[in-house]
Every structure is written in C-alpha cells, then in structure tokens.
Amino acid sequence: MKRFTSAAILIFMLFFGAACGGSSKNEEKSDTDVETNDIENTDEDTELLPDADEPVSEEPEFDEKKLESIKNLAEEYVNSAHGTGVVIGFGKDELTSIAYGIRNSKTQEPLSTDDLFDIGSITKNFTAVTMLLLQEEGKVNLDQTIDKWFPDFEKGDKITVRMLLNHTSGILEWNEFDDLEGMVDKVNGKFNFEPGTDWSYSNTNFVIAGLIINKITGKDAVEVIREKILDPLGMTHTFMKNFEEYPLDDKAHGHTFDEYGNIVPYELNERFWTAGGIVSNIEDMFKYSHALFNGELLSEESMSQMLDFVKVSGIPVYGLGMMYDKGHHGEFYTHGGDVIVTAALIAFYPETGEIHILFNNFSGSSSTLAILNDWMEYVLADEGEAEKGTVFPDWNELVDNGDDTQIFSLYAPIPDYESEELNESIGYFIYPEDYIPDFYCTHYMFKSQGYVKIVQQCMEPERYYEGTIKVGRTDIDMYLSSFEAAVEYGEPTQNFYITKYDYYYDLETDFLSKICYSLEESDPDKYMMISSSQHPSGTEYYTIWGKSKMAESARAKGCECYNKDETKRECTEEELTENETTILNIPTLL
C-alpha cells in the first residue's frame, strides 16, 4: 500500500485525470476487453478475447494466469469503489491492455481501450518535456527568472522556470481557469513560501509555464506541444480539451453520485490547458511513455534534469513534471491526473522497463489507482495471483433514495499499529443531506488499540462555494469496537458509531472552525457488513460496507475552533452556524 508520506502529499494535490477502454465501438463487446499492441506497429492492433481458448494474433501471447489476475484486480477495484469502469495498460515494448466496466451509466455501453479520457495533471509532463525541448534548441534556459516575461510579477527576479516545473516557486495555488492570462495578475504577490525554499504542488506553476512557452515561440503552447511531441510520435488520439477539436463520441463519460446515491454521468469542461487539459487513450499514452523513457524524446541531459527530484523531509518527491515513488519491487517514476470524477496514472519502472497506465471514469483520486498499481506489481513480478474478489451487495439494497441515508464502503488492509497510522483505502462515503461530490477525497482504515477507525478526508475547491466561507474540509471517523467479532460473525453489525467533522476556512484570514456531528445514538437502523479476502501480496484485505440514517443526527458537544497557529479558542455562535447558510454551488449533472 502507499505509505503515509505519499498519501499526505496527494491529499493536497490537484491532479486532473480520467480514463476507460475496450474493443471497437462498432462491435458487440464484453465487460472485459483485452488487446495487445506492439509499439512499433500500432496501426495493426489485434483484439484478444477474454476466453483463453479463442485463437490469438501472431503477437506474443501474454501469460494467461497473469492476465486473468489483472482482470480480477480490475473487477475488484471497480466493485470496491462502486465505480463504473477502469482501463489498465502495461508492457515494455508491447502494450497489453484491458477494459472493465461501462463508459456511460445511462447507456450501459461497455468501455473500450480505444476510448478517450482526460489524463489531467499528467499533462504537466508534456508541458515540462516541451520546455526541455525548447531548452535543447537554445530558446530558453530553465534557470532564467520569469521577470523576463512578466516584469511586474513580485519576486519574479527570484523565480526560475525550473521552479515552476518542480513546484518550488512558492506561488499560490489558483484553480480558476476561465482567464488564463488573468490568473497571473490574481496570484501576483501571493506566496506560500519564499521561492526556492520549500515545495508545494500548484497548478498555477504550469499555467505560467504554458504562458512562457507562448511568449518564447509566438505560438499557443497547445500548438507547440503538438509540433514537438504529438505529431512526431503519431499520437493521433491525443488532444488539448477545449482548445482543439476532437471526436466527442469517442470519449468516455466521467461519473459521480447524485444526491440520492445513484451513479450519474458527469463531464467537467474547464480550460485546464497546460496544467491538466489533455485527453488521450491508452495506446497513445503508451506510445508517449515508451518514447519518453527510452530516450526517443529527450537528450540524456534533459532526462537527467527531469528526474532531478526535489526532496521533502528527505524523501524524493517531484522532478520536472514527474514524481518519484518506491513500490514493492523498486523505484518508479509516476504522475497522476485527477479531474474530479475521473482519474489517471502512469508509472515507469527503470529496473525492468515496465510501463503501467491506468484510467478510471468514476473517481477523482489517482491515489486509488496507485493502490491498484501496487497490486499489479505483485502479479507482473510472478509473486502472486489474484482470484475473483468479494461479492458485493446489490446497490439498490443500499440506496433507498432517502434524503437522510448515508452509504459507505471501504476496502483496505488493516494491520495492527501501536499508534494511529493511515493507510489509503478504496471506497466512498455518500452523505445526501449535504451532498458533496468526491472532489479530493482520500479514504483510510487502520487498527489501533483494539478498535478499527475509518477516515474520509475531503478538500473542497473554493470555486464551488459562495459567501464568506471559501474552503471546506470534511473528515468522517467511524469506530468499530469489536472488529474481529464482526468479521467472524458474518452478519450485519451495529457495533460502530460515526462522527463527522466539518472544517471551514476563510481564505482571507486563514480562520478555521471545526463543527462536529455525532451519529452514535441516533441511528437504530444502521448496519455494516465486513468480509475479507487475500490479494497477490498475501495481505489480508477487508471490505466494509453498509448504511445508516442521518435524520436524527445531532451536533456533538465539544467541537472546537482554532487560531491560525492551530491553538484552540472558543467558537463564536456565528462560526458554529456558518455552515448552515453556506451554499454549495455544484455544476449541473449531465
């Protein structure tokens, strides 16, 4: 599983992304489609059917046991999060890809490996590579300061292009993408820290980098990316969303939950541009990853600069549009992409040359794809197999369209710890009474001091709020006091209680209030089911799902407010009632 250091960093990142896949849309398709494509001959793709007895192409056949395990992992992943679909691609010089699930919850059309998806913040790597190519041509030096292009930008004489590309500029995150040029004025003079002294992920950095590409070349950065990367590599299924035309019918829908817990199609159409605007498919992303990591795009010196990772607390984190991580089988280079209701992930393993590409079309958290990627490592390294996973309940049994019904499901290992230590989980919480889409939510489960605790942490983007409250965060703690007994019993249990914490920030003053709701005594209809299964690593994974009623939920006593330095203070009555008048302005669902 992902370590806490990586998980904590991911909570505060705005990655954009999406994905899906399968066979040709003009054919009848199964729920799981499989393809193998040689990187040197991608115009003659041959589809392999899931049935191992069917004839296959002249391409080398991937190990059927491994393939079956990957398909089982895909199914388990989608079921665990009650999602719609996932696409997985992997290989060294040859791509093997599978698609599991549906591309649209209304039409129930199966996913295809041909489908287009938002790759979100993986776009940042395209922007960084483009800048490195311009440096190779002598048109820019990454150590030049940005005052050359933005003479009125505060501290512009200290901020270098390199600092933009590795997130050490200190420039404040700004997620309003309607006016890209105007974003520079909005963040001018607003910093998280002095340039070059710390690290903080900020989409603003890559918007400014894109504007610099415009100024260097006299062309839009979209055109430059196409000229230097997309066209030379023959990436005919890759486009910059909202800046280039592309076949809309080839794109899979993202999905979210409506206010009653039903899955509905959802499409985000913001202009993320050089920070996260590219749409692509699994084949094109494999082309790109293969070319990038096999020295076909950048010089050795440029590649070295891209992989020069900034360290946070001594741990390598971020290079130039590329992240560092270490899995069960060695280090790998990676980036995620989150677009609220879809996610994407790429990973390259330098020790083996293996490339992994993962997309989903239901979750805005690439951290869950990182969990799936961990599982894949074991299978592909011949260290385990994955059997069919947990059987999940009929969704309609959980959803009753009641305004006061909360639904939850999580899936994770639960090792024993002497103290609280978080492990990322796959799952969801739906609270229809104050409907919050899964924007930037991370789920954890852990066992400590004899009880199991489940935590959901969500960060809401400020642009979805009106009024004085700009940013909210929701934490949900669920305690199970007799976990082993519940697992052994195998029947619905009620030995748990839930506390919900709402945090509210005013961006102008950094004020923080904490408002609590307790569901411990007010929910006689609550129930929870617990089951376990084993994954390729040999780790025991637990599935916890159920629902409870919130009609009688009451604000708990002892809620606290904090000063900017996080010292406790007494809450005012206005602060405690502020959330009741705050409006969540959510875009219309498709």
- How would residue 47 be classed by pLDDT, with cut points 50, 70 and 90? very low
**What span, in angstroms and rounded, lies between the C-alpha atoms of 152 and 246?**
37
Sequence-distant (6+) residues with CB within 8 A of 397 are none
pLDDT band for 373, please (50, 70, 90 cuts).
Answer: very high
Please determine, for residue 10, whether its predicted confidence score (pLDDT) is greater than 70: no
Q: Is the model's pLDDT at 16 over the cut of 50?
A: no
What is the spatial distance between Cα 534 and Cα 541, in angstroms, rounded to a whole number?
6
Indicate the range of 37-51, 209-223, 273-287, 364-378 predicted with least confidence: 37-51
In 61-219, beta strands by DSSP E: 85-91, 94-101, 117-118
pLDDT of residue 146: 97
CATH superfamily membership of 11-43+71-385: DD-peptidase/beta-lactamase superfamily (3.40.710.10)
Domain boundaries, the chain: 11-43+71-385, 401-584
What is the sign, positive or negative, of the torsion defined by CA atoms of 258, 262, 267, 272?
positive
Q: Identify the residue with better confidence: 142 or 486.
A: 142
pLDDT of residue 240: 93
pLDDT of residue 493: 77
The pLDDT, as a whole number, for residue 584 is: 29
pLDDT at position 512 is 57
266-270, 336-340, 498-502 — which is least confidently predicted?
498-502
CB 307 within 8 A of CB 319: yes
Select the highest-mean-pLDDT range: 10-24, 147-161, 406-420: 147-161
Mean pLDDT of 158-180: 88
- Is residue 157 within 8 A of residue 145, CB to CB? The reply is yes
Residue 585: its H or E element: none
Name the pLDDT band for 210 (thresholds 50, 70, 90): very high
Lowest mean pLDDT among 26-40, 245-259, 428-442, 464-478: 26-40
Q: Mean pLDDT in the chain?
A: 76
470 pLDDT more than 60? no
Q: Using the predicted structure, report yes or no on whether residue 307 has a pLDDT greater than 90.
A: yes
